[in-house]
Chains A and B, each alone.
Chain A
């Protein structure tokens, strides 16, 4: 369905630090651009975090959320912790989300620019803390 998602930033270095570590927990590597950073996937889909192309300040949307896929619960937790340690703020602790399809395990963050992002892993049973 998606070719890419572009999130705005006002501070390329700060957002790059946040996304390099959080996207790193999901297995994506950064490609640096003059005005931001791209995180491509093997499937040809990409996250772009960069300054707005119109030269105006970035402003986050109210109502917008971008969700990433994680393979398991431990990755959701690693992503959340990495974000909190690199300029992100908590917008939802890791846990099962009853309103998600299949009661998935997810967590939410705001990035340093206020963009709302989340990660979800498929429900594979109770979270025993053993990394499944």
Chain B
């Protein structure tokens, strides 16, 4: 046991719309969409799971202000593909793919909001240095 997070859930108001967004974006990261009851989910138990379903309380799903979920990508191409897939499936741009180095690491990442407005990022540490 060394994973910090077991899972993350985000709400949706239109399950088909949100599942289309996440099917496309997670496909870019190599994770096929799966279904269980009203949930679409990605990944496997024990390795971290991402789930999207209508809120359990029956109220509309809302996005946070201040909340971001960070996803890991294997390389820059996956970040680019993730961002493009999201824009093509109901997402909105929150930061185009590019270098976002921090003092502790070289990073390449991008940001999207899903159809509900949930803020997501996708980063890789596998950056390509110019020749």
**Known: A42-B2, A64-B10, A102-B45. Contact between A5 and B57, CB under 8 A?**
no
* A63 in contact with B62 (CB, 8 Å): yes
Q: How far is the CA of A6 from the CA of B5 in the complex (A)?
A: 12
- Does B127 interact with chain A (Cβ within 8 Å)? no
Q: How many contacting A-B pairs (Cβ < 8 A)?
A: 132
List CB contacts (< 8 Å) of A11-45 with chain B.
28, 41-43, 45
Known: A5-B70, A7-B67. A43 touches B45 (CB 8 A): no
Given contacts A2-B8, A67-B7, A67-B8, contact A61 B2 (CB under 8 A): no
Asked if B65 and A56 sit within 8 Å, CB to CB, the answer is yes
B112 to chain A, nearest CB (A): 14
Residue picked from B31, B55, B57, most chain A C-beta under 10 Å: B55
A9 to B121, CA, bound (A): 19
Interface centre among A41, A64, A101 (most CB of B within 10 A): A64
Q: Do A51 and B66 have beta carbons less than 8 Å apart?
A: yes
Give the distance to chain A from B126, nearest Cβ to Cβ, in Å: 12
**Inter-chain contact B55/A69, CB cutoff 8 Å:** no
Asked if residues B66 and A6 are in contact (CB atoms below 8 Å), the reply is yes
Task: Write out the residue numbers on chain A whose beta carbons fall within 8 Å of the beta carbon of B66.
Answer: 6-9, 50-53, 58-59
Chain B residues contacting A8 (CB-CB under 8 Å) are 64-67
Using a CB–CB distance below 8 Å, which chain A residues touch chain B? Answer: 1-9, 28, 41-43, 45-47, 50-54, 56-69, 71, 101-102, 115, 118-120, 122
- List 10 A-B pairs, minimum CB-CB distance, nearest first: A63-B11, A8-B66, A52-B66, A3-B70, A61-B64, A1-B48, A101-B45, A63-B61, A67-B6, A63-B55
B residues adjacent to A (C-beta < 8 A)? 1-12, 31, 42-43, 45, 47-50, 53-55, 57, 59-72, 116, 118, 121, 123
